[in-house]
Structure 1
Amino acid sequence: MYRFALRPWWIVSHLFVLALVVTFVGLGLWQLDRLDERRDRNAELAARIDQPEVALAELVPEGDAAVSEDQVEDRRVTATGTYRPDEAVLVRGRSLRDSPGSWVLVPLELADGRVVAVNRGWIRNDGRYSAVPEEYAAVPAGEVTVTGLTHPSQERGTLGATDPTGTELTSLARVDLDRLDEQVDGELLPVWVQLTQPEAGAPDPSPEPLDPPVVDDEGPHLSYAFQWFTFAAIALGGYPLILRRVARERGRGGPDDAVGLDEPDPHDRPAPGDPRLDAPVEP
């Protein structure tokens, strides 16, 4: 009953289904690898955030111009200094809860004279603002202590926007500390601080501080892996059923998909009234 499955067209079909199954399984395993990577990153992030809060001056000692990303990424710090609102800039294209907006980046002059860029938080911006709007330009007066997470300078990706040089900008495409250093007086630290809570005496309105990173979000990788494995199971289980149906139809004398266009169907017998019975026989 299943000899038809050895015909060339069916062999191509078998190979195609096999390739689909291998691809689906491979994609499922790839998603599981991505899940393991995500879990490892979450564990590393949780370990960094759980470290004791330190003073920024201790994390980046004076005279230490080079710091590694592992040293400063997502470290909880405090810093005391005085804001420089005249040097504040927007960081464009930063959405929050699916709403368009920007970050407000303000330099903070520390007691040792060095300067650190502080991300005071998010404001709604649908494109109308190319500089920090007046209502969000006010900062706490005098000396202020900020609490937040440190991050290294952000770098441009392959297709990211480029900020021009040689002019003073009121907005940046990213927290590019090298570019910001061109227009900030003093020694700018190679890290920036993301506020996790408003400063004492913060004016109203103030930018909304960003939420700390989520350490238990594993993303959609597990569900994607389940979907790919499900597709593979459907192909493995469904294809034999198709072969069985075709074999049963052949056994009942039904349509035979296995017969090629250039091959007669051995089961095809003309019935009475078939025009082929009246066709003249060639000598």
Structure 2
Amino acid sequence: MKTYKFLFSSKWAGYFALALVFAIACVALGNWQMSRRNDVVANIAKITNNYSGAPLEYASLAGQFDHLDPAKEWTQVTLRGEYLTADQRVVRNRPLNGTPGYEVLVPLKLQTGQTIIIDRGWLPIGDREAGHPDVVPQPVSGTVSVIARLRPPEPKLDRGAPAGQIASIDLADYASQLSYSIKTGAYGQIVSESPAAAQNPIPFPAPSIDEGSHLSYALQWICFGVLAFVGFGYAARMQRRNDEYDEQESGETGVPVEELYGRGSAFHPKRHAKVRKVGARATAEEAEDAILDSQGY
């Protein structure tokens, strides 16, 4: 009766090492997907807590416009001041729901003397002149009360823009185009304003809180890692079964196992050419065929 001693051979040790390396790689990929999911879940929690929270006064969040704490993103803040429409800018290449367009940025000079940037919304591409919106709605003049959500600035893009436009919401670059200083640590994405303008850009939709498929991908990678050992175990079981079949065949024909199919041939096709019940006696023809096979005929 054959046992699993063959597992201690160098060949099977190599098979096990390959299965182990594959399983470790699958676990690492699963952990990577779980890490990504944890980041997404944390961001969803932040959005859920801040996006619809009660607006806070500017005084309590003034420092966030210098250096925005990521945990404060989407927090609503109440601002009072006057729009400086002469320094308005249009941001290029801003798709919304798959449609190309622009965003409108306007400096808001607060009653406290500081100036921050307000993103007033989205505009579709124009039909009259390529690269420009047809109409840019203007805010009301005079003092307005604005509720906006805190958003971080964007990195600078190495591409140009026509006069009156910028390539991204890079507040430092925006500041370099103005004759006065502005807050460059954050800007406000408008929620509402009072008094409201007769016409406004299209408001932004709420950010997505879909966590995606990271969890299912992580579970799939873990399953793949487990299947590596399942496959190894199945191959070992097949090897033992074939070894037992070889011993039985050798005992019935008198031909040494090594001469029947070659040592270590775990899945030789001739092993499966004929299937007999265990204990059945070999016929003379089968014995003769086995001898001829062992001699290479």
Give TM-score, length-normalised by structure 1: 0.72
**Cα deviation code 1:75-116 (max 9, x no counterpart):** 201223333344222323433223333322222333345432
Which residue is 1:149 aligned to? 149
Change in Cα spacing, 1:258 to 1:209, as seen in structure 2 (3 Å) is farther
**RCO higher in 1 or 2 (8 Å CA, sep ≥ 6)?**
1
Change in Cα spacing, 1:255 to 1:11, as seen in structure 2 (3 Å) is farther
CA contact (8 A) 2:50 2:72 kept: no
Pick aligned residue for 2:19 from 17, 20, 23: 17
Which residue is 1:281 aligned to? none
Larger Rg: 2
1:229 corresponds to which letter in structure 2?
A: I
**More helix as a share of residues:** 2
Whole-angstrom distance in 2 between the partners of 1:149 and 1:203: 22
- Aligned residue pairs total 258
**Cα deviation code 1:226-270 (max 9, x no counterpart):** 11111122222232112212332333349679349xxxxxxxx97
1:245 corresponds to which letter in structure 2?
A: M
RMSD over aligned Cα, in angstroms?
3.7
1:202 corresponds to which letter in structure 2?
A: A
Pick aligned residue for 2:187 from 176, 185, 192: 192
2:17 corresponds to which letter in structure 1?
A: L
Superposed displacement of residue 43, structure 1:
3.5
Task: Show structure 2 runs of 5+ residues with no match.
Answer: 247-259, 267-287
Change in Cα spacing, 1:202 to 1:231, as seen in structure 2 (3 Å) is farther
2:244 corresponds to which letter in structure 1?
A: G
Whole-angstrom distance in 2 between the partners of 1:277 and 1:227: 47
Which residue is 1:263 aligned to? none
Whole-angstrom distance in 1 between the partners of 2:97 and 2:228: 39
SS of alignment partner, residue 106 of structure 1: strand
Whole-angstrom distance in 1 between the partners of 2:225 and 2:294: 47
1:181 corresponds to which letter in structure 2?
A: A
1:123 corresponds to which letter in structure 2?
A: L
Q: Structure 1 residue 208 and structure 2 residue 208: aligned?
A: no
Change in Cα spacing, 1:241 to 1:105, as seen in structure 2 (3 Å) is same
Which residue is 1:140 aligned to? 139
Which residue is 1:123 aligned to? 123
1:1-283 superposed matches below 5 A: 1=2, 2-49=4-51, 52-56=54-58, 59-60=61-62, 66-69=66-69, 73-125=73-125, 130-131=131-132, 133-135=133-135, 137-143=136-142, 144-156=144-156, 161-162=157-158, 169-190=163-184, 191-197=186-192, 201-204=196-199, 206-214=200-208, 216-253=209-246, 258-259=264-265, 271=290, 273=292, 276=295
Identity %: 25
1:140 corresponds to which letter in structure 2?
A: P
1:242 corresponds to which letter in structure 2?
A: A
Task: Show structure 1 runs of 5+ residues with no match.
Answer: 261-268, 279-283
Give TM-score, length-normalised by structure 2: 0.69
2:230 corresponds to which letter in structure 1?
A: G
Change in Cα spacing, 1:21 to 1:57, as seen in structure 2 (3 Å) is same
